[in-house]
Structure 1
């Protein structure tokens, strides 16, 4: 278990540093202002990962991470105002960039497995991406027209 925690901490630290740099470069948030929020997010992720490993059942760790994040940010939880205030300095898109890069590297490492899926999986993936894009555009169009912006 200790080896897992060390690996998780290393991975979360790499993501944290990358996200802090992205937050600074892309959103002009000074790194030192966002460090407490990033440490809180890393702590929440670490607790969720540990719960996923320790508790019985086959619930994915991401569910525990989300549950811990929601619980510690509830207004009636002591310290929630600190958590909400510090994490508001970290932009969501600055967090997604390193995560998507990692996913791309993970897929890139296993091209042999990807090729085994065949050309049909590529067609399905393209349809999913196209459908997501068109769906997002339609939702944005309806909401912007409803608000009178366009």
Structure 2
């Protein structure tokens, strides 16, 4: 059975930090590859952008655990990201250039894959679902996509937007 990478404990131990770093390295590598294959952004630029995002994430998680305020890490991460990318800051041009090389869809795809696997709690449980669960999942996603496309088309036609 695979141990949880992120244990959610209040104190960040060396083991916990190592797990966060390992998770962010894997996440970043997959995102950089997807970003290169899907959007043709240079891998070096994408890698630097993901390194910036990963460092901000690590600092935000550390701040949540060690600062005496009851504030979520997402708030710390957001404020740090805004602060270092704010126009006029010395880091702004550097951060904006490299982070803009990371497409949102690349990040979201990897994140959703991780969440989907994480919902099974372990690889053994995920494998136990079998091929039928994968077929059902693909059918549900396809039906949702086509259903949304049909509704969007109907609304566009009803509001006078010409059909393509």
Tell me, yes or no, whether TM beats 0.5: yes
Confirm whether residue 69 of structure 1 aligns to residue 81 of structure 2: yes
Q: Which runs of 5+ in 1 are unaligned?
A: 112-125
Q: Which runs of 5+ in 2 are unaligned?
A: 1-12, 126-139
Runs of 4+ in 1 over 4 A off after TM superposition: 145-150
More helix by share: 1
- Tell me which structure has the larger Cα radius of gyration: 2
* Cα distance, 1:51 vs structure 2: 0.9
User: How many correspondences in the alignment?
Assistant: 125
What does the per-residue CA deviation read over 1:40-74, in whole Å, with 9 as the maximum and x for residues that have no partner? Answer: 11111111111111112332212211121111111
* Closer/same/farther in 2, CA of residues 36 and 147 from structure 1, 3 Å limit: farther
* Closer/same/farther in 2, CA of residues 57 and 26 from structure 1, 3 Å limit: same
In 1, Cα distance between equivalents of 2:68 and 2:160? 47
TM-score, length of structure 2 as denominator length: 0.65
Note the aligned Cα RMSD (angstroms): 2.7
TM-score, length of structure 1 as denominator length: 0.70
1:7 to 19, 30, 39: 19
